[in-house]
Each structure stands twice: as C-alpha cells, then as structure tokens.
Amino acid sequence: MTPDQPNTEALTVGEVGDQLNGRLRQLHNQLLESFPVVDRIACVLYEQQEDLLKTFVNSTREGVSISGYEFRLSDSASLSKLAEQGTIRVLDDIPAAVHGQSLHSVWLLKEGYRSSLTVPLFDHHQFIGFIFYDSREPGAFTPEVQRNLSLYSKLINMTISSELNVVRSITASAQVAREFANLRDFETGSHLERMAHYARLIAKDLATSHHLSDEFIEHLFLFAPLHDIGKIGIPDSVLLKPGRLDPEERQIMETHVQKGIDVLNRLIGEFGLQDLPDSAMMVNVVASHHECLDGSGYPKGLMRDQIPLEARIITVADIFDALTTHRPYKQPWSLEAAIAELERLVQIGKIDADCVAALKRHPDDVGAIRTRYPDS
C-alpha cells in the first residue's frame, strides 16, 4: 500500500461506509454520562432535488431503530418551518402531539418515546437535515438540557457537514476532470443520476438481508457516479467509437479502471482521507465494478465474495442502465428484456443474483427513475 492509497484491507460490509454510526454511538455514550434521559440520537439527511428526508445515522440505546425511511419535507409544515427558520422543536408529550399514521409516527409510539428535541442541520446556511433526540421520559428536554445539548448538536453538525463537503469536493473535482478532458461518451449526467438511484434502490432492498445501514446506502448513492471516472484517460478514438472495439482497443478501454483508481487515490490523498473506511467504499466502487463472480472480469479477476458488495450493486445498476437507454450502437431495451438479460448473466455466473432480484422487485420505482432522469 502506497502513502496515497487508503487502507481497504479486512474491511467488512459493516465497516465500509458505516463510520459515522460508530462516531455517533461514541458521542452518545459520552452524552449519557451527563444526560441519561437521552435514549436515542438520530440524524436524517435532506435530498433537495427529491425534497426527501432520509434516515442516515442513529444511536439507539434499546429497542428497534427505524431505518430505510423516507419522508417528503414539504408534507410536514412543522419540519418545513424548522428548516426554513433554523429553529428547534420540543415535544414534551409525544403521544399527545403525534396523531398521524405515518410509519415514523407509529414507530415512535410503539417504541415508547415520550418526548423529543428536533434540531435542524445546516452547512453554510444551507439546510442539510435534522438531529432528533428522543427520550422515554416525558418533558425530558428542559431549557437546561437544551442548552447543554447545543454543544453536542454543533459537534454532530460539524461532523456530518464536513463529511458531506469532502464527498461533494471529490465528486466535483472528478466532474471538473471529466469536463476538462472533454469527456463526451454515454456517461452523461442523466446516466450517472439513474445508475446512482438504481444502486440505492438495490441497496435499500437488500438492507435487511445483507445487514446494510442507512449510512452504507447513502454513501453508495453518493459514490456511485465516480465508478467510471478513469475514462477521462481513454483516447476519444476508443471511447467514442460507435461500433465494437477490437481486442487492442478493448485492452485500452479496460485500463480505465486503473486510471480511475489512480485519479481517486490522488483526490483522496489531497483531502487527507487515506485512513477513512468510507474512502474504501469509493475505491471499491471504482476498482471492482467490472469484476465478475466467475472470475472472468477485470482488472484482477476477482471471484464471488472477493468482490465487495458495493461493487456488485454498482455492476448491476450500470449494466441495467446501459441496456435500457439508447447507445450509438443500439436502441434501448424494454424493462422486461433488460431484466431477462440480467437473469441470463446471473445464470452463467457473471453478476449477483440478489442484486438482480432486488431490482426486479421494484418495477414502479425503476420506471419513476427512468422518467425523472431522461437523456436530453
């Protein structure tokens, strides 16, 4: 491992893309020494383009945490007001205040939470999400407790906004590199948006069976657009060729994986992220999305579980979008035909069966993604 490479050895699915959860648990343990009434801390992220609040990280002392939950911000007048004005909200008696039948409301009551404190998160005055503090005691968040929790809120806000800023900086740098290199292939912005959403859809479906946290899923969504960044180093004569590549051209094209790793490691080094397992997910996405379960992929010929789950998800999402969209050499396939082709690739041992099955289970969501992010 060179100094510019992140440490990606011996990282499990539970470790890669799941570090903020660990940091939040540590902070919660410290907080409990002074404020044992705080039974839960949870952070949700706001995706402005979709107007969605999405569960992200949490530390729950006991009971069952809610995960994989999305809620449209505009559907809640009270939360919209907090986001707009930057104020906090205290509920001293949750059972008396919560009357809706949303999944979150039902869960709050079932878990026995009696009071809560909601704090909006901002990054340079831009709303990015909420912190929810919950207690099983009514009236737990007195003015004194609120004042003392303000420091913890600032620490959480700084941690999350710093991480998001790093991710945005890396993806923005990658985009600038693509534009500077005049990259004009089928990896359009719409393609990157679609396959990132397909990847997130697959990961959400697999969350329970594969023990994936909300943090893992959101990081995968954020990192997915980087998968083919190495193509900035491929000559236009190969990258933009309308027909099939000959063996020599195919060999050149396949070097985009190593080029992508080199670009990403340089960016990771520039931002000082060598020791962050979250950066390992970025490297895995770039390095392994062309590997095949039977060992026939490239660049390393990895097999089965040697291929990180995040890369297996990206592979299926990428192939699916390639099949269902127009390319210079083909017309778009129907959803049914594309799924059938993915299942054929599963049968011959190329791609992950669970990922394909997850995609197949959500035809309406797939259709919505295709409609929302069309090629211009």
* Identified catalytic residue from 54, 204, 231, 360: 231
DSSP 287-306: HHTT--TBS-SSSS--BGGG
Asked if 231 is an active-site residue, the reply is yes
Measured in whole angstroms, how far is the alpha carbon of residue 284 from the centre of its chain?
A: 14
Instruction: Give which of 104, 370, 47 is closest to 218, Cα–Cα.
Output: 47
DSSP secondary structure string for all residues of 148-213? HHHHHHHHHHHHHHHHHHHHHHHHHHHHHHHHHTT--SS--HHHHHHHHHHHHHHHHHHHHHHT--
- Length of the chain equals 376
CA distance 218 to 19: 12
Residue 88 contacts residue 119 (beta carbons within 8 Å): yes
Burial class (CB in 10 A: 0-12, 13-18, 19+), 121: buried
Just list the catalytic residues: 231
